[in-house]
């Protein structure tokens, strides 16, 4: 009997991405405090956070393959978290205007029966066009930047800010599907392609 797939995330975007590739799964968000261990490089941090989420979820499931992820933005070596409020979102977007930043998603897959674990990370470079103060204010006023790492959603109105990307588009949304698929196949998960 095939193992159950569990997505340890409350992200509707991650759920949608997995549904789009025809994966059958349940959602069980991992309730961990996302404390950021000091001294880790951004890719290590994203992997570590995803690992904690996956292990927490694996403790509640048997005969399951757990998928967890954590996405962060990075500009000038500094982590771009979620904006605290509208002025903070404006400041973040102004800093990214006309520049390139990185989006890094760490993901972990765990077999809850054997404990076998693989953690990886994928980086995508995102180039913003030069934004006027008015454009930034209008975007922030839509409410979309709130609760989004880096204060934008590339799959929404944030697409209007992005000049180009280098790397995996789905990674910017929150889950690098191609890399994840390779790992899932190694865990015996059957995918359409």
Q: Which two tokens stand for residue 192?
A: 């359409």
Distance between the two ends of the chain, CA-based, in angstroms?
Answer: 21
**Is 138 a member of any domain?**
yes
**Is 148 a member of any domain?**
yes
Percent of the residues in the chain that have a pLDDT greater than 70, as a whole number: 96
**pLDDT above 80 for 17:** yes
* Cα(29)–Cα(42) distance, integer angstroms: 22
Q: Which two tokens stand for residue 28?
A: 């069980």
**Is 191 a member of any domain?**
no
For position 56, which CATH number holds?
3.90.950.10
Task: Give the residue numbers marked as catalytic.
Answer: 70
Q: pTM for the full model?
A: 0.92
Q: What is the pLDDT of residues 118-163, one digit of tens each?
A: 999 999 999 999 999 999 999 999 999 998 889 999 999 999 999 9
**Is 167 a member of any domain?**
yes
**Is 77 a member of any domain?**
yes
**Is 192 a member of any domain?**
no
- Beta carbons of 94 and 128 less than 8 angstroms apart: no
* Cα(19)–Cα(16) distance, integer angstroms: 5
Average pLDDT, the chain: 94
**Is residue 88 packed enough to be buried (19+ CB in 10 Å), middle (13-18) or exposed (0-12)?**
middle
Domain that holds residue 66: 4-186
Q: What is the pLDDT of residues 53-63, one digit of tens each?
A: 999 999 999 99
Total number of domains in the chain: 1
* Cα(94)–Cα(137) distance, integer angstroms: 10
User: Angle 86-96/133-141 helices, nearest 10 degrees?
Assistant: 140
């Amino acid at each position: 009997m095939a193992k159950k797939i569990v997505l340890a995330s409350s992200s509707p975007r991650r759920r949608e991405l997995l549904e789009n590739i025809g994966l059958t799964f349940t959602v069980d968000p991992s309730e961990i405090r996302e404390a950021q261990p000091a001294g880790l490089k951004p890719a290590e941090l994203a992997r570590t956070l995803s690992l904690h989420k996956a292990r927490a979820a694996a403790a509640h499931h048997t005969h399951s393959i757990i998928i967890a992820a954590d996405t962060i933005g990075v500009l000038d070596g500094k982590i771009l978290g979620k904006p605290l409020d509208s002025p903070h979102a404006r400041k973040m977007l102004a800093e990214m205007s006309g520049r390139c930043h990185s989006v890094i998603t760490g993901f972990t897959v765990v077999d809850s029966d054997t404990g076998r674990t693989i953690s990886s990370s994928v980086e995508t470079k995102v180039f913003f066009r030069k934004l006027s103060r008015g454009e930034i204010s209008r975007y922030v006023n839509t409410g979309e930047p709130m609760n989004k790492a880096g204060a934008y959603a590339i799959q929404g109105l944030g697409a209007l800010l992005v000049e180009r990307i280098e790397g995996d588009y789905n990674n910017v949304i929150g889950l690098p599907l191609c890399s994840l698929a390779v790992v899932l196949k190694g865990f015996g998960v059957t995918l359409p392609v």
